[in-house]
Amino acid sequence: MLRFLKVIVWNLPRIYMIPKMAYKARHKERYGEEACYAYARLAIRRMMRAGRIYTKRFGAENLPQEGGYLLCPNHQGKYDALGIMISHDKPCSVVIDDAKSHGLLVKQFIDLVQGKRLKKDDTRQSIGIIRELAEDTKMGRRFIIFPEGGYFHNHNTVGEFKPGCFKSAVKARVPIVPVALIDSYRVFEEWTLRRVETQVHFLKAIPYEEYKGMTTTQIAEMVKDRITSRISDVVSPA
């Protein structure tokens, strides 16, 4: 929380970026996805500099070179999606809880990257978002979705993955990229201003041919196991 406050105060002179994000989001046909994504990453870099946040990227070579795909990470805190985006050079977006997506800056950022707002208590809307995800990834877009559905001060422990998060990948027949986040919770949970370092591990992509015929429950377990294994290898090496 202390770091979060510092980031806000430090970036007050750059408050103009918020209306600029909103403007670019409203005129995305003029700026295009890549320009909007570049501006979003600029905002992330400035936040990282102010908060003394450093993120190490591993496994970029595992990302598919062409086409859309679904990035499926474990969930630790507010920095998770930002850490992935700053580590992911090609434009990608995120699926976010609608209830958390309308605050100042968050709203403008999500609009800028054309994120999807999911209403957890609205089944019909959730089905519609899954359908949109399938259509968009099939057309070549890339999305981050958190199969745990939230974070609960779980730190580097991985919770249960919800099978429904993988329905869009199955429908679109696109690769699933497991993403292991390590120490991401420390960014805004620890009460300190000391340098903090997080890790983003892009694991080997799972092509449709590999998970074809599996149930979404089986897919969820497979993705969770791969992420858990990587975290264990890094945090508690044999």
User: For residue range 87-132, what is the model confidence (pLDDT) as tens digits?
Assistant: 999 999 999 999 999 998 999 999 999 999 999 889 999 999 999 9
Q: Between vectors from CA 166 to CA 163 and to CA 170, what angle results, nearest 5°?
A: 125
Q: What is the CATH number of the domain that holds 85?
A: 3.40.1130.10
Q: Judge whether residue 8 has pLDDT over 90.
A: no
How many domains is the chain partitioned into structurally? 1
| b/e map 203-217, b = 16+ CB within 10 Å | bebbeeeebeeeebe
**Whole-angstrom Cα distance, residue 107 to residue 25?**
10
pLDDT for the residue numbered 170: 98
Average pLDDT, the chain: 95
What pLDDT does residue 238 have? Answer: 60
Quick one: pLDDT at residue 86? 99
% of the chain beyond a pLDDT of 90: 86
Compute the distance between CA of residue 30 and CA of residue 24 in angstroms, rounded to an integer: 8
Domain assignment of residue 125, given as a range: 2-235
Whether pLDDT at 2 is above 80 = no
Which of 5-9, 38-42, 227-231 is the least confident region?
5-9
pLDDT score of 1 more than 70: no
CA distance 147 to 52: 28
pLDDT at 4 over 80: no
Banded model confidence at residue 173, pLDDT cuts 50, 70, 90: very high
Mean pLDDT of 56-64: 98
pLDDT of residue 192: 83
pLDDT at residue 146 in the model: 98
Judged against a pLDDT cut of 70, whether residue 153 lies above it is answered with: yes
Mean pLDDT, to the nearest integer, of 206-232? 98
